[in-house]
Amino acid sequence: MKKLTILAASLAFTWVGVAHAHGPSRQKLTETVEINAPPAKVWGIIKDFGNPHGWMPMVASTHAQGGNAPGATRELTLKNGGVIKEELKSYEEDKMAFAYKISENPDCKVLPVNNYSSNIEVEASGSGSKVTWNGAYYRCFLQNNPPPDQNEESANKAVKEVYTESLAHLKALAEK
């Protein structure tokens, strides 16, 4: 009976340890914007993977290689001095869509995410366009008990800010 009690206590302790050691959960964010402009005009603004600083206000400059072919890379230098390196995963001109990922996790102070991937698509919506931007990522701090500036809330806030600012700027550019 003692062996059974010890075994039960040991299993319970192990289960509690496993239950509290799960780490971060993958976060997902989708932002959309309706634009009063034809899809071809909107796509014309965002379709060059190597040139996002035209419509993403936080990007100061870009160094890109590979054009719009899968495997192309871009290095975004942000206005705050941070750098983000990205790789194009797929590009579909006919569907007005592309997917990319951050190829080297940025400094957590630049963007508090880890293992970020994203896709963006332009489609017709009524007499205008709808742009949908999806992202999936983990918080920057991959261990348990993250500091406040590297938790899920800070990751979600930062990505949402990038998406909403960029989509609002895209809308303004396309509707001129």
Q: Residue 51 maps to which CATH number?
A: 3.30.530.20
14, part of any domain:
no
Residues facing residue 127 across a β-bridge: none
In this predicted structure, what is the pLDDT of residue 24? 85
Q: What is the pLDDT of residue 17?
A: 44
- Residue 126 resides in a domain: yes
Residue 67 covered by a domain: yes
Cβ atoms of residues 105 and 115 within 8 Å: yes
Q: Is residue 60 part of a domain?
A: yes
Would you state the pLDDT for residue 148?
87
Q: How much is the pLDDT for 15?
A: 46
- Residue 150 domain boundaries: 24-174
Whole-prediction pTM value?
0.84
How many domains does one find in the chain? Answer: 1
- Report if residue 125 sits inside a domain: yes
Q: Is residue 12 part of a domain?
A: no
128 in a structural domain: yes
Q: Distance between CA atoms of 135 and 163, rounded to whole angstroms?
A: 9
- Predicted local distance difference test score (pLDDT) of residue 2: 59
Asked if the structure places residue 7 within a domain, the reply is: no
Chunked into runs of 10 residues, the chain (176 residues) has average pLDDT values of 52 46 85 98 97 94 96 95 96 98 90 95 97 96 88 93 97 96
Phi/psi at 2 (nearest 5 deg)? -60, -40
